[in-house]
A and B are shown apart, each in its own frame.
Chain A
Amino acid sequence: MSEPQPRSILLVEDNPGDVVMTREAMGRLEVHAELYVVTDGGQAIDYLKSAAGQQPDQLPDLVLLDLNLPVRTGREVLAEVNADPRLHGLLVAILTSSAHEQDACHHYRPEYCQYFQKPPTFRELVERMRDILRFWATRSGR
């Protein structure tokens, strides 16, 4: 893939199968970004706040966020991101199985956030990942 790519991605996903499938889809699209994986909302918040505190900040270029998460939900993660000025502008792609949570981005800023539904097949997931990369490229200005 010759287009610009995110260098680092934080995947917030509690389902190991989805983690594997996401890796596979990124592999299929030849995305070589560092992939950090945390498995609940609490870890995601800790990770982001800790990364934002470092000099220079180590925030990921893109967050892939599930909504149904243990400890803290994806919505709570979005609210935390929204409340912390250091995390302002962080690009978040919501990737969830629920078809009825399009409004989740309102917990953050719609211009930095987009909702994607997890598709039923791997091949569709590859297409969805392509859409997510396009969202990243547009919003990050690359």
Chain B
Amino acid sequence: MTRRSDPTRNLEAQVQELQAQLAEAQDALEAIHRGQVDAIIVSGPDGERIFSLTETASVYRRVVETMSESGLTVSPEGIIIFCNDRFANLLGLPMTRIVARPLADFVAPSHRPALARLLQTAPTRPASARILLEVPHHPGLPIHFWANYLPPPDGPLVCLVGTDLSQLEMDQETILQLQEQRSALQESENRARQTAEDLARSNRDLEQFAYVASHDLQEPLRMVSGFMDLLEDRYAGQLDVRGREYVHFALEGAQRAQRLVADLLQYSRAGRDEQLQTTDAQAALAEALANLRTAIDETGATVTHDPLPVVQADPTRLVQLLQNLIANAIKFRRDEPPRVHVAASARDGQWLFAVQDNGIGIPPDQYERIFLIFQRLHLRETYPGTGVGLAICKRIVERHGGRIWVESQPGQGTTFYFTLHRGEA
């Protein structure tokens, strides 16, 4: 047996003593909880006071214990005499560690004055306050306490009923956030709509401008070319070679300007007043080929095609689109007779058209540029034209909600692709 020193033994005794006290206190609190205790003695500034817990009260205590609101009874100084499960659950503590402690211990320091005011007011009139509880691992639990004073002989006591506001406040915050998000969304929607309207108006203005400009320019240009021609026709004999050359250049310039203006007019018209309807692409191709009969015969071109579908399109524009692409394929041919094939396949709920040729091809760095109005890749002397055909194609396709692009092997051929919406069969 090991011999121990006296201080150690004393310490062991003290611990045992304290453990016994603690067990006793725990038993007492358990008893309070079970309603087996009749009274609690609380030491206050005015000396000790006895709070009795009578049998009749214990019936109501059962009600309070099981309700979904926090319920507690405190002394006028704020010592917790009783609390229900709900309150204990909120704090996340066993009831034995709550009862007999000051309620202020569980309240955020910043809210302790509010609690003091509530308890002070209660004896004169019913009062309520929002109090932030301090709970472990929690940023603070907002509780709305309603305080009612219970005077002697049962009191003096303050009965507190607390409603947990955390969910409500969280909901309110969520609602606020949602409202903010919604108004932000609405605002951006409004802005987008405004921008779209502005853009549409600006586009309409621009189209109107292009239309009017090109239309009204025709008249004076016709005067220049008409009278230059008349001058040459009637007075050529009175002009020397140089004079006739000047007239020739003036006439040529005016005629070229006329072609540009006519093409610009055609371009601006290509974006106006489409009548979208169910359109047979095969019939449109037949019409385009009929319009190109001369060019096809002169070059010995062969144009073949897949069975073509029914699409949602303006028939006139579809003819123009196919005609421009096939005319291009024939125009930019190599030394051999042009071969053009028009194909169509279903792709992503749309129809994908392909116009393939065996022509001179287009260098990759020009794929974008060829679709710009009045952009040309060749000298006018080599391949005549103003450079409006593909710009018109792009405009037509885009006005139909489709896309147009090109793939090419320089020296071997070019394929133009475009998409159109399906027509109702």
Contacts and interface: CB of A to CB of B under 8 A. Distances in A.
A55 interface: no
B364 interface: no
Interface residues of A, number: 15
Contacts of A17: 223, 226-227
Contact of B233 (A18, A97, A118, A122): A122
B230 A120 contact: no
A24 interface: yes
A21 B219 contact: no
B289 interface: no
A123 B230 CA distance: 7
B255 A122 contact: no
B262 interface: yes
A81 B234 CA distance: 38
Interface string B197-232: 000000000000000000100110111011101100
A100 B262 CA distance: 11
B230 A118 contact: no
B230 A122 contact: yes
A123 B262 contact: no
B275 to A, nearest CB: 15
Given A21-B227, A99-B262, A123 B233 contact: yes
Given A21-B230, A24-B230, A97-B218, A120 B223 contact: no
A98 interface: yes
A118 B222 contact: yes
B269 interface: yes
Interface in A72-105: 97-100
Contacts of A18: 223
A121 B215 contact: no
Interface residues of B, number: 20
A25 to B, nearest CB: 9
A50 interface: no
Contacts of A140: none
Given A21-B226, A21-B230, A120 B258 contact: yes
A125 B226 contact: yes
Given A99-B262, A100-B269, A120 B219 contact: no
Contacts of A58: none
B265 to A, nearest CB: 8
A123 B228 CA distance: 11
A73 to B, nearest CB: 14
Contacts of A118: 222
A62 B138 CA distance: 100
Interface string B247-262: 0000100110010001
Contact of B226 (A98, A99, A122): A122
Contact of B227 (A98, A99, A122): A122
Contacts of B219: 15, 97
A80 to B, nearest CB: 24
A121 B226 contact: yes
Nearest to A126: B233
A15 B226 contact: no
A98 B265 CA distance: 10
A4 B30 CA distance: 132
Interface in A13-40: 15, 17-18, 21, 24
B185 to A, nearest CB: 45
Nearest to B251: A121
Nearest to B227: A17
A120 B225 contact: yes
B226 A120 contact: yes
A81 B223 CA distance: 29
Contacts of B258: 120
Contacts of A123: 229, 233
A25 B229 CA distance: 12
Nearest to B234: A24
A121 B221 CA distance: 10
Nearest to A15: B219
A120 B255 CA distance: 7
Nearest to B215: A98
A69 to B, nearest CB: 12
Contacts of B254: 120
Interface string A122-133: 110100000000
A15 B229 contact: no
Contacts of A122: 226-227, 229-230, 233
B48 to A, nearest CB: 109
Given A99-B262, A99-B265, A120-B254, 7 more contacts: A15-B219, A15-B223, A120-B221, A120-B255, A121-B255, A122-B229, A125-B226
- 5 smallest CB-CB distances across A and B, nearest first, come from A121-B229, A122-B229, A122-B230, A17-B223, A120-B225
Interface of B: 215, 218-219, 221-223, 225-227, 229-230, 233-234, 251, 254-255, 258, 262, 265, 269
29 contacts: A15-B219, A17-B223, A17-B226, A17-B227, A18-B223, A21-B226, A21-B227, A21-B230, A24-B230, A24-B234, A97-B218, A97-B219, A97-B222, A98-B218, A99-B262, A100-B269, A118-B222, A120-B221, A120-B226, A120-B254, A121-B225, A121-B229, A121-B255, A122-B226, A122-B227, A122-B229, A122-B233, A123-B229, A125-B226
